[in-house]
Amino acid sequence: MRTMIVSSMFISAALFGAACKSDSEKAADKVEKAQEDLRDEKQDVREEMKDVRTADPNDMAGEKKDVAEEKRDVIAAQSDLDTARGEYRAELKLRLDKIDAKLAELEARTDAKAKQTAASLRVKRDQVALKLDETRNQAATGWDNFKTNVNDTFTQLEKDIDAAF
């Protein structure tokens, strides 16, 4: 009985943890999915091109039509990826805007320690902002590490700012 209760608690915690992703993490996952879709569509084009090379001359028109359809799918998948990356950048920008508001509040304080802390955190904030620009060109092969690094960096900065208050 205890085992069932403990197991249920772990399952609930795992499900709850998975359901508590931030909006930026969800957007990052959407980018990852779009990258996978694009990779799959490109593979489909390669396979259709093989069919064209080995097709019977009577079937050539149909095979070329299939290639054209797959190429349209690649264009659509690339567009979806661009959109997903834009949404991810927008979510990160929202987080950055919240950080900026808290930093402005900290900088408005009159004590020297708050001003010094704010200056230090502003440097970290600027480094985080650079990561925002990197989202446009991040390759699919390094996406998981990039996504984790960006999220961890944002989270740590947010914690540091909260600790300053």
Along the 165 residues of the chain, how does pLDDT read in single tens digits? 433 333 343 344 333 333 457 888 899 899 889 999 999 999 999 998 888 888 788 888 888 898 899 999 999 999 999 899 889 989 999 999 999 999 999 889 888 898 899 999 999 999 989 888 888 777 778 888 888 898 899 999 999 999 988
Question: What DSSP line would sit under 26-61, residue for residue?
Answer: HHHHHHHHHHHHHHHHHHHHHHHHHHHHHS-GGGHH
pTM of the model: 0.71
User: How many whole angstroms separate alpha carbon 64 and alpha carbon 44?
Assistant: 13
Q: Which residue has the tokens 């009159």?
A: 110
Per-residue pLDDT reduced to its tens digit, 113-143: 988 999 999 999 999 898 888 887 777 788 8
Tell me the three-class secondary structure of 115-150, residue by residue: HHHHHHHHHHHHHHHHHHHHCCCCCHHHHHHHHHHH
